[in-house]
């Protein structure tokens, strides 16, 4: 069982940077693929980025590639999402998720979810 707690979301202006954190419980954090997703009311949950625990390889949604960076500190059981050059369309609730198999962009393939943190980007 893994429990995930996100933090760092807040109101920012377009062009600003923001770092989200996701703290995980458990002693086998490095075994999990960690993902970030986001959701806007009335829309489906959207894949943002994911990172493997074994080799740190990453995958990004094209809409955030070059602006967002996912990284993890296995010793701290924490995964981060560094968001630069934020745009109003990045406004959403951001969720952290974990799964034990390979990287996936599909929300239903993740076993564990955090409660979400709100990011609002004003124009």
Q: Compute the Cα dihedral for 107, 112, 118, 121 and give only its sign.
A: negative
**Residue listed under structure tokens 């709100």:** 118
Residue positions counted in the chain:
123
Q: How confident is the model at residue 119 (pLDDT cuts 50, 70, 90)?
A: very high
Cβ neighbors of 41 (< 8 A, separation 6 or more) are: none
Asked whether 32 and 22 are in contact (CB, 8 A), the reply is: no
Q: What share of the chain is helix, strand, coil (3-state, %, to 5)?
A: 10, 45, 45
What pLDDT was estimated at residue 54?
81
Give the pLDDT confidence of 60-111 residue by residue, as tens digits. Answer: 999 999 999 999 999 999 999 999 999 999 999 999 999 998 899 999 999 9
Task: Give per-residue pLDDT as tens, 10-37.
Answer: 999 999 999 999 999 977 899 999 999 9
User: According to the model, what pLDDT value does residue 27 have?
Assistant: 74
């Amino acid at each position: 069982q893994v429990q995930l707690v996100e933090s760092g979301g807040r109101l920012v202006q377009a062009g600003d940077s923001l770092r989200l954190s996701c703290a995980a419980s458990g002693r086998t954090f490095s075994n999990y693929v960690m993902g970030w997703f986001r959701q806007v009311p009335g829309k489906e949950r959207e894949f943002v980025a994911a990172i493997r625990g074994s080799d740190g390889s990453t995958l990004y949604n094209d809409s955030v590639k070059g602006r967002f960076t996912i990284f993890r500190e296995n010793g701290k059981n924490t995964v981060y999402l560094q968001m630069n050059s934020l745009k109003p369309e990045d406004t959403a609730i951001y969720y952290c998720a974990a799964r034990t198999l390979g990287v996936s962009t599909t929300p239903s393939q993740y076993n564990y979810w955090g409660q979400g943190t709100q990011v609002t980007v004003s124009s």
